[in-house]
Amino acid sequence: MRKKTLAIMCSAVMVMGALAGCGSSSTETTAATTAAETTAADITAADTTAEETAAEETEAETEAAADLSGSISMVGSTSMEKFANALSEVFMEKYPNVTVQAEFVGSGAGIEAVTNGSADIGNSSRNLTDEEKANGIAENIVAIDGIAVVVDPANTVADLTKQQLTDIYSGTVTNWSEVGGSDSPIVVVGREAGSGTRSAFEEILGLEDACAYSSELDSTGAVMARVASTPGAIGYVSLDVLDDTVKALNLEGTEPTAENIKAGSYFLSRPFVMATNGEISEQNELVQALFDFVYSDEGDAVIETVGLISTR
C-alpha cells in the first residue's frame, strides 16, 4: 500500500512539472501541488486505517484462540482417519489450548458413540440412515470422497464397467478371464459389517448385504495390505489413501480422481459426515469452533490437501 502511495505522489510531482513546463501560472502550479498532497495524505490515512483494522482483527483472533480451551472427541470411520488427523493437527495449531482426540473404529460405532453421548462427533463415511436421523443425529457433510476399486499391481485389467464390478462382488463372475484378464480366480476383499465404506459401496451397486466376500477386513489399511499382497485380489478403499502398492481401476472408462468426481463422471463416491447429537448450533463452543474452521477457507485447504472434495 505504501508503494502505491509513493507512486501516486511521484505521479503528482510529474504532473506539476508538466504544468510548469507548459507555462502554467504559479497559482495553477500551487493548486496542483495542494491537490496532489491532499490525495497522498488521504491514501496514507486509508493505508493506516487498513493496517490498524488488520492488526485489530489479528489481535482479536489471537485472543479468541487463547480463550478457547478444552477437548473435543471424535469417534468413527477408519476411512476418515487421514482427514481427521490432518484437521485435528491444523486446528490445534490454531487453538493451542484445545485438544482434539480421534478414535477410528468404524462409521457405525461412531454414530453410536455420538448418540449415547460418549463422543462429541461421530465420523461417518456414509449418509446417515433415517433411523439415526430420527434419533436426533444431525448429518453434517464436510467433504466428498471417492471410493477406489483396487487390485494387485500385476493385474492386467485396467477398467471395469459397473455391471462387471457388480457381477464380481455378487459372485456371478469368479475369474479374471471373464472380464478381459488372465485365467486366474478373483479374490473378493471387502470391509466388515458396519463400515461406512462398505455400506456406501454396496448401496451404490445395489448389493446391500449380498456381496460374496473372500475376506472381510476391519480397516482401510488392512484392505490395502491384503490386496497388495494377494494375486488376483480386488478391494475397495477411500480415494485419499491410494498409493503405489496397489493398482486403481478405471470404472466405465473414468479414472478415480477428484476432478472426475466433481464432474459427476465417476460413479463411486460418498460423503464424509461429522455427525452431532443435535444441530451444530446446539453444540458447545469448542465443537462449534471446529465446524466454523471446517467450513472456512482454511478448512477447504485441509480437505484438498488430503485428496478430498470440499462441499462449499
Query: Do the Cβ atoms of 291 and 100 come closer than 8 Å?
Result: no
Percent of the chain predicted with pLDDT > 70: 79
> For 267-287, what is the mean pLDDT?
96
Cα 18 versus chain centre, distance: 57
Of the two residues 23 and 40, the one the predictor is more confident about is: 40
Asked whether the predicted pLDDT for residue 2 surpasses 70, the reply is: no
Whose CA is closest to 194, among 121, 126, 273?
126
Which tens digits make up the pLDDT trace of 227-249? 999 999 999 998 888 999 999 99
The per-residue pLDDT for 307 is 82
What confidence category does residue 54 fall into, taking pLDDT thresholds of 50, 70 and 90?
A: low
Task: Answer yes or no: same fold for 69-144+272-310 and 145-269.
Answer: yes
Minimum mean pLDDT among 18-22, 36-40, 280-284: which range?
Answer: 18-22
Supply the mean pLDDT for the chain: 86
Q: At 86, give phi and psi (nearest 5°).
A: -65, -45
Domain ranges of the chain: 2-66, 69-144+272-310, 145-269
Q: Which CATH architecture fits 69-144+272-310?
A: 3-Layer(aba) Sandwich (3.40)
Predicted local distance difference test score (pLDDT) of residue 184? 97
- Rounded distance, CA 198 to CA 217, Å? 10
Pairing of strands 247-248, 141-151: antiparallel
Res 282: pLDDT = 98
Strands 121-124 and 269-277: antiparallel
Mean pLDDT of 159-181: 98
pLDDT tens string 60-119: 555 556 689 999 999 999 989 999 999 999 999 999 999 999 999 999 999 999 999 999
Crossing angle of helices 107-116 and 196-205, rounded to 10°? 120
Contact assessment for residue 304 and residue 175, using Cβ atoms and an 8 Å cutoff:
no
| Cell digits of residue 268 | 463411486
The residue to which cell 476399486 is assigned: 149
Flag whether pLDDT at 4 surpasses 80.
no
- Among 6-15, 162-171, 197-206, 240-249, the least confident range: 6-15
Angle at 256 between CA 253 and CA 262, to 5 degrees: 105
C-alpha cell of 259? 476432478
Q: Which CATH class is domain 145-269?
A: alpha beta
